[in-house]
Structure 1
Amino acid sequence: MNTIKKNFAYNAIYQILVIILPIVTAPFVSRVLGPTKMGQYSYTYSIATYFLLIAKLGFDNYGNRSIARRRSSKGDLDKTFSGIYYLQFIIAFSIMCLYSIYVLFISKYSTLALMQGLWVLGALFDINWFFYGLEEFSIIILRNTLVKIISIVLIFCIVRGPNDLWKYTLILSASSVAGFLITWPFVFSKVKLVKIQLKEIFSHFRQTILLFIPVIAISVFTILDKIMLGYMSSFTQVGYFEAAEKVMMAPKGIIGALGTVMLPRMANLYSSGDNKNKRVFIDLSVGFALVFSIGCMFGIMGVAETFVPIFFGPKYLATTMILKIMAIVLPFYAIGNVVRTQLLIPNMRDKPYINSVLFGAIVNVTLNFVLIPKLGARGTVIATIVAEIVIAVFQLLAVLRELKPNYFVMTVLYSLFSSGTMLFVIFLVKVILGNSLLSLLLQIVIGGMTFAITFILISSKSRDVISTKMVNTIIRKK
């Protein structure tokens, strides 16, 4: 358990570092560039990201799972890593060539698109899945810390006005490639590339394609949403949506960190048949995901009116309601993440995972066509929430006997009560101090402490097994 807690802390830091650049720079950049320029950035980045997703196929999940299952044998590890990476390089290089054609002959924003192409280039060197499979995260953290600090300094020093959008774009995309390149010397200290037959390389293709289907489907919520919004509404609406999404990246990053850490461990437990530890980890993961996501959902709703004008500026007031609605997605996203990373993918149950996200993507796109012309960014958010609910329910039904949702009823009720207490405290701070920076900081700090203390006190006097076990695991070194 100590190893799991340590790796979760490492990966949580990694996820935060991945998103900390836009969070730290958002108040500055949103004012300097404005909603329209930020919308142009988001639009071109979204298109480049689609090429990036295709270049990476399902390597993140497939590579993670495969390395975790074969890490006990050095020979098998070398062969598995080599086969997966050779295939990744072939596909990424091909997609890079296609993106070059897009930039030269199709894109209306060729300069921005060219710079965004560095994200696609990064797919040639991205082997994070290897370290995930080994459950080693410290190297990733050190890499991101260095790259992100340099990026933040460059943005504050170089980006001065709306005409500097290309500089902002170049800094972000180039830092991504630099981060991947820095990692490679550490790779060769743990594994080596070996010569294998072409047939062995492409033996990985079928599984990566299968796991790519849900990746591209999930991208509907993260990428296609903004493309449709920019095409059917305006870049200003995309800017509002992008601002709200930046805030949501923080809690989603923590939830995603839990899944990233637990996937290789659960894959290893499934392969060894350790049912006792599987049950313990699943109970704790679901409990943590529910408590954290429910607390964040109500916390974001409570501070949104103060947070948005202070953080993004008065031009982004429309983002306030968008952010409040968007927060509703967190509990459903959290449950879906736990189910797919700890029950479906590690146990090779790809079919219900693929079917659920495909169905959710269809629902999302359909609702986007209906709601975006009428509601703009709000319509996009509503479509995303409905789709995430569909995915969570679909995946829960697939693991109903293993998960036993009735175990977690009291945990949800305790979280709701703690959230109500937190909202009351946030409201009092807002009434006393108004919408100031001090007020915002106190709302976040005191509100968060109120939620945590309330939940711990209730759980410590409760007979609920899940809540008690979760609090004991977090507080005690077990």
Structure 2
Amino acid sequence: MKNVAKNFMYQTVFQLTKIILPIVTIPIVSNALGPVGIGVYNYTYSIAQYFVLLAGLGVTIYGNREVALVWKKSKKSTSIVFCEIFVFKMIISSIVLIMYFVLSFFVDNKGVFLSQIFVILAVMFDISWFFMGIEDFRKTSMVNLIVQLFSFVFIILLVKDEKDVVVYTLIQSLGIMLSQLLVWVYIRKHIKFVKVNIRKCLQHIKGSIDYFIPQVAIMLYTNLNKTILGFYLGAVAVGYYANSLQLNTVFITIITTLDLVLLPHMTSLFASKESSKIVRMMEKTINLQLFISIPTMFGMLIVYDKLVPWFFGSKFLFINKIIPLFSILIVVIPLGMSISRQYLMPVGRVKEYNKSVLLGAGINILLNAFLLPLFGFFGVVFANIFAELFVTIVRVRSFLKSTDFKFNVKNIISYTMAALIMFFLTRLFTHDMPELLWVNIVQAIIAVLIYFVIVTFLRTNPIIEFIRNKRI
């Protein structure tokens, strides 16, 4: 468990940096590029992501799991698995790269579209799945942290107006590729490069496709919304949609970091035939997750309207109507991801995982087709929310049926009551304050204090319980 705690810390630092540094630049980028520039970037990025998905072909999760199953056995077997999977991924990535390059001659915004090509090149050299499999998150986290810091500096220095959308795209995509290349410095310590049979490399296609299919489905109910908005309503709509999701995504990423860290650990427990330990650990991790995610959702509803004007700028005031709708995803998405990453994937129940995301994708496509003509922009927003809700409900239901897991209902009620009181009191105290940064800081301090006092009084604070157990 000491490794899990360390890896959680490294991943948290990396994920925080990955999300917070771009968010620190949002006021600058939003004012420089405006809704159109932000929209063009996100629209072209959404298209590039289909090729990224195809180039990766499910290897991130598949490779993670395969390495986790063999790395404790011997360096030789780990080396063979690594080389086979890497060669396999390089073959697929090369084909996809050519396809993307050909397509670039037939699209609008060619400069921005071509600048996204480095995101696909990054997939070719991505070996983060290996380090996840051996439960070593420090190296990838630190490399990514350094690259993100450099990218941040270049954005501040070079992105000045709407014409700089190509420059902004190049900084982002080159940063992603560089972070993948630098990690190769550490690989020789863990494996020895060996000759592999191409036929054996291609045999990994069956296992990776099991994880690729759900990723396609996930793309269809997340990334597809930006593509649809860009195609039907234009770049400005994509700009509003992307920035509305940005704040919620920060918290979702932080909350789900523990799931990513626990995936190889849970896989090892399953390989050791200790499945019951997985469920017991999940009772603790999901309780901790809800302790954080429920008040975070209400916290977003506290700060959003005083945050948008100074943070995104006056051009983005429209998103005040969207952020409250998306806030529910702060609870919904992490819960569904916990069940998939901590249970379904480690124990090999890929079919159940696939079923949930395929159904979610189907619902998203149908709802978009039905709601977009009726409600326009908000039709796409509702389609996304309902799809995410459905996926999580399907996973929770399946998980409860197949295990003896039980939600701590008393704690969930306590967290919700405390968060509601926190919401009403904080809004009441800060209602007449101006739309400034210091007001958001005051709101955050008041909200956190109220929430912690209430859950501690109700004796449902897991942090206090953890400290007590440490002392005993």
1:399 alignment partner, SS class: helix
Gaps of 5+ in 1: 461-466
Deviation at 1:342, TM superposition (A): 1.3
Aligned CA distance change for structure 1 residues 83 and 274 (closer, same or farther; 3 Å): same
User: Corresponding residue for 1:322?
Assistant: 322
Q: Distance in 2 between matches of 1:166 and 1:70?
A: 43
User: Corresponding residue for 2:91?
Assistant: 90
Give the TM-score taking structure 2 as reference length: 0.95
1:185 alignment partner, SS class: helix
Residues matched between the structures, number: 470
Letter matched to residue 101 of structure 1: V
Deviation at 1:474, TM superposition (A): 6.8
User: Corresponding residue for 2:45?
Assistant: 45
Contact 2:76 2:191 (C-alpha < 8 Å) held by counterparts:
no
User: Corresponding residue for 2:345?
Assistant: 345
Contact 2:278 2:343 (C-alpha < 8 Å) held by counterparts:
no
Give the TM-score taking structure 1 as reference length: 0.94
Deviation at 1:341, TM superposition (A): 0.7
User: Corresponding residue for 1:64?
Assistant: 64
1:317 alignment partner, SS class: helix
User: Corresponding residue for 1:464?
Assistant: none
Deviation at 1:15, TM superposition (A): 1.4
1:235-246 alignment to 2 at 5 Å? 235-246=235-246
1:399-478 alignment to 2 at 5 Å? 399-404=399-404, 406-431=406-431, 433-460=433-460, 471-473=464-466
Q: Residues 381-428 of structure 1, C-alpha deviation per residue, up to 9 Å, x if partnerless?
A: 211111112111211222214555643211210110121122134213
Contact 2:295 2:419 (C-alpha < 8 Å) held by counterparts:
yes
1:172-187 alignment to 2 at 5 Å? 172-187=172-187
Deviation at 1:453, TM superposition (A): 3.8
Aligned CA distance change for structure 1 residues 139 and 440 (closer, same or farther; 3 Å): same
Contact 1:232 1:372 (C-alpha < 8 Å) held by counterparts:
no
User: Corresponding residue for 1:212?
Assistant: 212
User: Corresponding residue for 2:377?
Assistant: 377
Aligned CA distance change for structure 1 residues 70 and 475 (closer, same or farther; 3 Å): farther
Deviation at 1:366, TM superposition (A): 1.2
User: Corresponding residue for 1:463?
Assistant: none
User: Corresponding residue for 1:256?
Assistant: 256
2:431 alignment partner, SS class: helix
2:458 alignment partner, SS class: helix
User: Corresponding residue for 2:80?
Assistant: 79
Q: Distance in 2 between matches of 1:39 and 1:269?
A: 44
Contact 1:237 1:376 (C-alpha < 8 Å) held by counterparts:
no
Q: Distance in 2 between matches of 1:193 and 1:358?
A: 37
Deviation at 1:199, TM superposition (A): 2.5
1:96-135 alignment to 2 at 5 Å? 96-104=97-105, 106-135=106-135
- Of 358-367 and 279-288, more deviation after overlay is shown by 279-288
Deviation at 1:132, TM superposition (A): 0.8
Contact 2:283 2:406 (C-alpha < 8 Å) held by counterparts:
no
Q: Distance in 2 between matches of 1:378 and 1:123?
A: 33
1:151-162 alignment to 2 at 5 Å? 151-162=151-162
Contact 1:229 1:372 (C-alpha < 8 Å) held by counterparts:
no
Q: Distance in 2 between matches of 1:107 and 1:271?
A: 48
Aligned CA distance change for structure 1 residues 383 and 418 (closer, same or farther; 3 Å): same
Letter matched to residue 55 of structure 2: A
Aligned CA distance change for structure 1 residues 380 and 404 (closer, same or farther; 3 Å): farther
Letter matched to residue 251 of structure 2: P
User: Corresponding residue for 1:310?
Assistant: 310
Letter matched to residue 472 of structure 1: E
- Of 417-426 and 33-42, more deviation after overlay is shown by 417-426
Aligned CA distance change for structure 1 residues 236 and 292 (closer, same or farther; 3 Å): same
User: Corresponding residue for 2:247?
Assistant: 247
Percent sequence identity over aligned pairs: 31
Q: Distance in 2 between matches of 1:192 and 1:255?
A: 35
Q: Distance in 2 between matches of 1:377 and 1:131?
A: 40
Q: Residues 230-279 of structure 1, C-alpha deviation per residue, up to 9 Å, x if partnerless?
A: 11223211111111111122111113311111111100000101245323
Deviation at 1:476, TM superposition (A): 5.7
Letter matched to residue 13 of structure 1: V
User: Corresponding residue for 1:272?
Assistant: 272
Q: Residues 36-59 of structure 1, C-alpha deviation per residue, up to 9 Å, x if partnerless?
A: 111111101111111011100111
Contact 1:429 1:439 (C-alpha < 8 Å) held by counterparts:
no
Q: Residues 43-89 of structure 1, C-alpha deviation per residue, up to 9 Å, x if partnerless?
A: 01111111011100111111111111111121211111111111111
Q: Distance in 2 between matches of 1:457 and 1:376?
A: 46
Contact 2:67 2:81 (C-alpha < 8 Å) held by counterparts:
yes
**Alignment partner of 1:202 is 2:207:** no
Letter matched to residue 42 of structure 1: N
Contact 2:115 2:170 (C-alpha < 8 Å) held by counterparts:
yes
1:357-372 alignment to 2 at 5 Å? 357-372=357-372
Contact 1:302 1:423 (C-alpha < 8 Å) held by counterparts:
yes
- Of 63-72 and 368-377, more deviation after overlay is shown by 368-377
Aligned CA distance change for structure 1 residues 316 and 67 (closer, same or farther; 3 Å): same
Q: Residues 192-245 of structure 1, C-alpha deviation per residue, up to 9 Å, x if partnerless?
A: 221122222122110101100111111123311100011122321111111111
Letter matched to residue 396 of structure 2: L
User: Corresponding residue for 1:170?
Assistant: 170
Q: Distance in 1 between matches of 2:63 and 2:456?
A: 38
Contact 1:429 1:442 (C-alpha < 8 Å) held by counterparts:
no
1:14 alignment partner, SS class: helix
Contact 1:36 1:239 (C-alpha < 8 Å) held by counterparts:
yes
1:273-312 alignment to 2 at 5 Å? 273-312=273-312
Contact 1:132 1:264 (C-alpha < 8 Å) held by counterparts:
yes
1:191 alignment partner, SS class: coil
Contact 1:238 1:377 (C-alpha < 8 Å) held by counterparts:
no
- Provide the aligned C-alpha RMSD in A: 1.8
Gaps of 5+ in 2: none
